[in-house]
Amino acid sequence: MTASTLLFYIAAALLGQLAIGVLVALLKRRSPAGSALPAAIAQPRPDLAWSGLRTFKVVRRAYEDPAQTQCSFYLAPEDAAPLPDFKPGQYLTFSLSVACDGDATPQKVTRCYSLSDGPVPAHYRVTIKRVPSPASNPALPPGVSSNYFHDQVQVGDTLQVRAPSGHFYIDAKSQTPAVLIAGGIGITPMMSMLRWCLQHQPERLVHVFYGLRNGSEHAYKQVLESIAAEAKQVQLHVVYSRPLATDRLETDFQHEGHVDINLLKQQLPHGAHQFYLCGPGAMMESLVPALSQWGVPNDDIHFEAFGPASVRLPGQAPASKEESSAQPVEIHFTRSGRTVQWTGGEGNLLDFAEMHGIAVESGCRSGSCGSCVTPIVSGAVHYDAQPDFELESGQCLLCVGKPASALSLEA
C-alpha cells in the first residue's frame, strides 16, 4: 500500500466519523427530552388507537395532595409499541377484576378515569381519588374501583385498558381564551388541557378556576403555582370553601367560597371565552345554566359531570312524550327470556333490568364506558342527552337509555 493510498483511507475514516457525529447531534436536537428516537418516531400518533383491551404496566405511583387521597398512576404499554395521541380531556376505560367483601371470586368492574397529563410518547397518566363510604351513611361500602387502585395496584402490576375516548376535550383549532373550571377531582382533565395548551398554544390565554374544600386536598399545588408563575398567559384562581386554620389567603388560595357565576364575572375580562367545566353534580347544575343566562353561547360551554347530575343547556329539554314513551310498554329480554312492563318511572333501562333481576354488565352508569352496550332486536331507544360513548347502529346504552316504543333487547 502506497503512502498516498494510506493517507486516503485515513482521511475517509475521519470524514465518516465526523458525519456520524453530526448526524447524532442533529437527532438529539430534534428528539424530545429523554428520548433516544427522532421526534418523528417518538411523537404519539392518532392512527395507533387499538380496539378492545390492551395490557399496560404501572411504572410509577405518586400522590398529588397532602392527604394522599388523590394518586396518579403512570401506565406504559406492556408491548412497548407506540401510543396513540389523544384529545386533552379524554379518558381511559379500565376493565378490572376486584375481589369485594372477602369474596374468593373477583367481580368484573369497569371504570373510566380522565387522563391527567398532556399526550407524551412513553406513557399515559390517570389520577384517581379514593372514594370513602358516604359520611351520611357510613354503613355503605366505599368506592370499589378507587380503593382497589389505592390499596392494591402497585408499580409492576398490569391493567387492562381500552383506548382513549370521550367527547369532552379542548378545541384544538381555537385561539379563543379558555376558561378551565374544576371542582375537586374534576381538575384531572383540566391538567391535560392546560399541559396541551402550554405545549401547542403557548400564546393562548388560559384561566384556571379550581374549587375545593381546603389545602389538605389541593392536588397539583406546586405544579399549578409554578405554571402560573412562569406562564404569564395562565391565570390561576384557587377557591377554598372550608379553609383550614393553616391555609393562607393569597398564598395557598385566592378566593374563599365557591366557583360561581359571580366570581367568574368579577375575574374574567370582557370578551369571548370558551368554558370547560368538570366537577360534582351540584356545581355543574348551578354553573352551566348560569353561564348560558350570562349570555355565553351554547357552543362555547363544554362540560363533563361526575356523580349524579342532570345538566342541560337551553334547548336540551327532557324527553317529550313523543320521544320517550309515557304509556306502559313491554320490554322483552331475549337472552333472559323475560318480558316485563316499563311504566315510565324506572329511570333508565339498566335500573329497570336490575330491578327485575336481569343481570347486565355495567360500569360508569353515565353513558361513557360502553359496558352496558346491548343490541336492539326491535323497537327504539331514546336518550335525554347524547351519550358520550359512540354507538354502532342497532345498539343502545342501557344506563342512559329509555324506551321510545316497545322493545326487544338482547340481554
Per-position DSSP letters for 28-86, written without gaps between them: HHHSPTT--S-HHHHS--GGG--SS-EEEEEEEEEE-STTS-EEEEEEEETT-PPPPP-
pTM exceeds 0.85 for this model = no
Where residue 54 sits, what CATH number does that domain have?
2.40.30.10
Torsion of CA 146, 147, 151, 155, to 10 degrees: -10
Structural domain contains residue 41: no
Structural domain contains residue 313: no
Structural domain contains residue 34: no
- pLDDT, tens digit, for every residue of 193-244? 999 999 999 999 999 999 999 999 999 999 999 999 999 999 999 999 999 9
48 vs 79: CA distance, rounded Å: 13
- pLDDT, tens digit, for every residue of 212-222? 999 999 999 99
Mean pLDDT of all residues in 85-90? 94
21 vs 43: CA distance, rounded Å: 24
Exposed, middle or buried by CB within 10 Å (0-12, 13-18, 19+), for 176?
middle
Pair (272, 342) in one structural domain: no
164 vs 305: CA distance, rounded Å: 18
362 vs 111: CA distance, rounded Å: 9
Exposed, middle or buried by CB within 10 Å (0-12, 13-18, 19+), for 184?
buried
Q: Do residues 73 and 58 make contact, with C-beta atoms less than 8 angstroms apart?
A: yes
Q: What are phi and psi of 386, to 5 degrees?
A: -60, 125
255 SS3 class: strand
Pair (183, 289) in one structural domain: yes
Choosing from 257, 272, 306, the residue where a domain stops is 306
- pLDDT, tens digit, for every residue of 52-71? 899 999 999 999 999 999 99
* The pLDDT of residue 360: 84
Structural domain total, the chain? 3
256 SS3 class: strand
Choosing from 257, 275, 306, the residue where a domain stops is 306
Which residue in 371, 387, 325, 407 sits closest to 162, CA to CA? 371
Where residue 384 sits, what CATH number does that domain have?
3.10.20.30
Mean pLDDT of all residues in 77-105? 88
The residue segments making up the domain with residue 237 are 178-306
Structural domain contains residue 324: no
Which residue in 186, 394, 402 sits closest to 281, CA to CA? 186
Pair (333, 248) in one structural domain: no
| Beta-strand pair 54-63/178-183 | unpaired
Structural domain contains residue 5: no
Structural domain contains residue 384: yes
Structural domain contains residue 154: yes
